[in-house]
Structure 1
Amino acid sequence: MSDLLPPVPAIDTPIAFVDLETTGGSVAEHRITEIGVVQIGPSGVSRWSTLVNPQQHIPPFIQSLTGITDAMVRDAPTFASLAADLLDRLEGSLFVAHNASFDRGFLRGEFQRAGLAFNPDVLCTVKLSRALWPNEKRHGLDALIERHALEPLARHRALADADLLWQFWRRLHAAWPLDVLRGHIDRTVRRYRIAGDITEDMLDSAPAGHGVYAFFDEADLPLYVARSVRLRQRVRAHLTGERRSARELRIAEQVRRVQWLATGGEIGALLTEAQWVGTLRPAHNRQPRSVRGEPNDAPWPFESAIVFEEQEVDAASRVFHVVDRWCYLGAAPWLEAARSLAVERAPVFEPATFRILQTHLARGLRVMPLESAVLPAETVAAGLA
């Protein structure tokens, strides 16, 4: 299939079809032995490949499969020595690979070891093939070769397999209307460079359990606040997920910064969410309305501030929440820091805190007087006076 035939542009950005050969399947334990890249851009088609010294033995099975031996890579460059040039080559291109999580994961790991961040938008041709031909059972590269009459120059060599993806890409343009193809590509692309300074690496650092998050726009104005029992998963789904509502899409398009806070449990998440919504007044949240008959103040049934503890089931760390006179003063990872919260902030009656705490005290929430709280603490069952 001639490269002189221009492809119909299903997307407007440059494309890098990428394939790797490695010493095995574990990103942590194994290393890259060969990289092949076919790049498509305004200037046409270019091909680039290199063997890579993995600085470890290539298992006999892998040598037999790929034909790449220890002797072949002994004098090849290490990944660290070519990392900067490779990053420049791939930067700004849509990263297309077959079983893309494998290739992207290995490159991301190697770039991290070289001190570089690698967060391209990724299109997996396995997922794209499944989306376009859902009734077909097989979507491996050998199945695509057979189904679409692709012409392999070799198998299990990086540049030859990357070239097969380029051939597959052109077959797609011949087989599908452009608007249909673009729609499937848009839904299949996973965007790791989310927006602003938000990257997949950043999302990986978000708390896995209960917490509250806030989105901010380009002017750093608050857009949206919410809580979740699986904060990291929820934020990622909101910003990168395929199944999003029209409202979520509108919000995600404006997000440039995200802020989050681990709360240790449900009650802390409820209290923090209510406080952030009331303080930040985000554009896409409904502002709390006063409830008929609800007091603007209410007697505090304790002698002083109280503290209660929440902890994720699988987490070693604790979170201590402090409330005084129906005002949520915040959370801290240890009691001494929790006590300082009561000194730093004067309590002001919060209707939302009143409602949330009333409900959970009635359900048996166990609290301690903040002043006398010790570890291990003997908690007291708090009842409403």
Structure 2
Amino acid sequence: MSAPSLPPPSIDTPIAFVDLETTGGSVAEHRITEIGIVQVGEGGVSRWSTLVDPGQAIPPFIQSLTGITDDMVRGAPTFASLAAELFERLDGRLFVAHNASFDRGFLRSEFQRAGFAFNPDVLCTVKLSRALWPHEKRHGLDALIGRHALEPLARHRALADADLLWQFWQRLHAAWAPDVLRTYIDRTVRRYRIAGDITEDMLDTAPAGHGVYALFDASDTPLYVGRSVRLRQRVRAHLTGERRSARELRIADQVRRVEWLATGGELGALLTEAQWIARMRPLHNRQPRVGRAESLGSPWPFEAAIAFEERGDEPACGHLFHVVDRWCYLGAAATLEAACALAASGVEPAYEPQTFRILQAHLARGLSVTPLEAVAREAAAIAQ
């Protein structure tokens, strides 16, 4: 899922420079105590900040560091009461922060608890500073203050630190040619909202190992079906990486939804891909020839359905038993008992010539299979 349909963030993109103060460093355990935002766009520059009641005590070390005490946040608005207004301030803007994964992570969790999906494009000024000045060893906010003659209004207070990022941004424009700076910014931005309902967080849930994926457009028309030994990496590359052909660009520009399935191994991926292409007939895949001519001289060499096992390459996948009958792939099951149930379910998939070719080749190489009829007989005998 990518954002090829969106223009790359540029120097003219509406921006929110953001800084947070929190009760600690754990998104799961700690909460926000202060938010500071400098908004920059066509309407000029505006500043906004608020203390936030975290609903928990602020540790003494944090109070000493930030100057924010329990008394100061007592009676301040909760994040839930601020969520709608804050979301409106940030939505549609490039989110710029120092060590941005920290600020983005806290806000994402708080917004999620309040019922909002927060997935802005993010620019980390630490990463941008490293990209522009790779010879420098230090890129913390204090280092930037000294290196670029920034003028802190305070330190470790949200709005003051957000303002330092705005000052740094202005120094960048004075130090670098616009085209060069735009290139570095585009390379550094991480896109969390990619296309349609697709986000980077959603991509992180895709199987890391063997699997099959399908890409769909805005009208839910299948565009492309593919397979990969590293499915998550492959889908991300499809949509967010460097694309080398006009065809790949056309596909990426249209994608609005994705489906995927872990297959446990390479042969399962080959069979599932062939099945999906035959069933979905995606626009950008070569369509299989129709007919049984190839298998006329190759009768099914088993009495009934068979299964072969592939060991999953991820703990969540486990072992999969792929079920085949009369040169047709019926699908996968987690156990032999479930494989027998699948074979006996009466599913009658259409003959697909690519499936025949894949199976014939692997059987010729000695693929180890289990006749499911024998498994079913053995299970019935044990039940008696």
TM over 0.5: yes
Q: Which has the higher contact order (CA 8 A, sep 6+)?
A: 2
CA distance in 1, matches of 2:332, 2:297: 23
CA distance in 2, matches of 1:47, 1:15: 12
Q: How does 1:1-385 map to 2 (within 5 A)?
A: 10-241=10-241, 243-246=242-245, 248-286=248-286, 298-313=298-313, 314-315=315-316, 317-334=318-335, 335-336=337-338, 339-340=341-342, 343-346=345-348, 348-362=350-364, 364-373=366-375
**Does the 8 Å CA contact 1:123/1:189 hold for their aligned counterparts?**
yes
Change (3 A) 1:98 1:364: farther
Change (3 A) 1:73 1:367: same
**Does the 8 Å CA contact 2:277/2:287 hold for their aligned counterparts?**
yes
Q: In structure 1, the residue corresponding to 2:323 is in which secondary structure?
A: strand
Q: In structure 2, the residue corresponding to 1:53 is in which secondary structure?
A: coil
Q: In structure 2, the residue corresponding to 1:366 is in which secondary structure?
A: coil
Change (3 A) 1:136 1:369: same
Offset of 1:206 from its aligned partner?
2.6
**Does the 8 Å CA contact 1:306/1:324 hold for their aligned counterparts?**
yes
**Does the 8 Å CA contact 1:325/1:347 hold for their aligned counterparts?**
no
Change (3 A) 1:374 1:27: farther
Offset of 1:296 from its aligned partner?
6.0
Instruction: Specify the code of the residue in structure 2 equivalent to 1:339.
Output: A
Offset of 1:360 from its aligned partner?
3.8
Unaligned runs of 5+ in 1: 1-8, 378-385
Q: In structure 2, the residue corresponding to 1:105 is in which secondary structure?
A: helix
**Does the 8 Å CA contact 2:15/2:41 hold for their aligned counterparts?**
yes
Offset of 1:240 from its aligned partner?
3.0
**Does the 8 Å CA contact 1:306/1:322 hold for their aligned counterparts?**
yes
- CA RMSD across the alignment: 2.8
TM (norm. structure 2) is 0.85
**Does the 8 Å CA contact 1:83/1:111 hold for their aligned counterparts?**
yes
Instruction: Specify the code of the residue in structure 2 equivalent to 1:329.
Output: L
Offset of 1:200 from its aligned partner?
2.9
CA distance in 2, matches of 1:158, 1:375: 70
Q: In structure 2, the residue corresponding to 1:27 is in which secondary structure?
A: coil
CA distance in 2, matches of 1:199, 1:205: 10
Change (3 A) 1:41 1:122: same
**Does the 8 Å CA contact 2:214/2:259 hold for their aligned counterparts?**
yes
Change (3 A) 1:175 1:352: same
Change (3 A) 1:176 1:376: farther
Q: In structure 2, the residue corresponding to 1:277 is in which secondary structure?
A: helix
Once the two structures are superposed, what CA deviation does each residue of 1:320-346 show, in whole Å capped at 9, x if it has no partner?
A: 321112221222345447634554433
CA distance in 2, matches of 1:145, 1:192: 29
Unaligned runs of 5+ in 2: 1-8, 380-384
**Does the 8 Å CA contact 1:322/1:342 hold for their aligned counterparts?**
no
Instruction: Specify the code of the residue in structure 1 equivalent to 2:322.
Output: H
Correspondence for 2:5: none
Instruction: Specify the code of the residue in structure 2 equivalent to 1:83.
Output: A
Change (3 A) 1:65 1:245: farther
**Does the 8 Å CA contact 1:16/1:94 hold for their aligned counterparts?**
yes
Q: In structure 1, the residue corresponding to 2:117 is in which secondary structure?
A: coil
How many residues align? The count is 366
CA distance in 2, matches of 1:376, 1:74: 69
TM (norm. structure 1) is 0.85
Offset of 1:129 from its aligned partner?
1.5
CA distance in 2, matches of 1:316, 1:273: 18
Correspondence for 1:6: none
Change (3 A) 1:308 1:158: same
Q: In structure 2, the residue corresponding to 1:40 is in which secondary structure?
A: strand
**Does the 8 Å CA contact 1:53/1:75 hold for their aligned counterparts?**
yes
Q: In structure 2, the residue corresponding to 1:119 is in which secondary structure?
A: coil
Change (3 A) 1:311 1:53: farther
Change (3 A) 1:289 1:194: same
Instruction: Specify the code of the residue in structure 2 equivalent to 1:162.
Output: A
**Does the 8 Å CA contact 1:339/1:371 hold for their aligned counterparts?**
no
Offset of 1:308 from its aligned partner?
2.6
Of 355-364 and 139-148, more deviation after overlay is shown by: 355-364
CA distance in 2, matches of 1:295, 1:98: 62
**Does the 8 Å CA contact 1:96/1:125 hold for their aligned counterparts?**
yes
Change (3 A) 1:295 1:336: closer
Instruction: Specify the code of the residue in structure 1 equivalent to 2:13.
Output: T
Instruction: Specify the code of the residue in structure 1 equivalent to 2:324.
Output: V
Q: In structure 1, the residue corresponding to 2:34 is in which secondary structure?
A: strand
Change (3 A) 1:289 1:348: closer
Offset of 1:160 from its aligned partner?
0.6
**Does the 8 Å CA contact 1:213/1:260 hold for their aligned counterparts?**
yes
Of 120-129 and 201-210, more deviation after overlay is shown by: 201-210
Instruction: Specify the code of the residue in structure 2 equivalent to 1:320.
Output: F
Offset of 1:289 from its aligned partner?
8.2
Offset of 1:94 from its aligned partner?
0.9
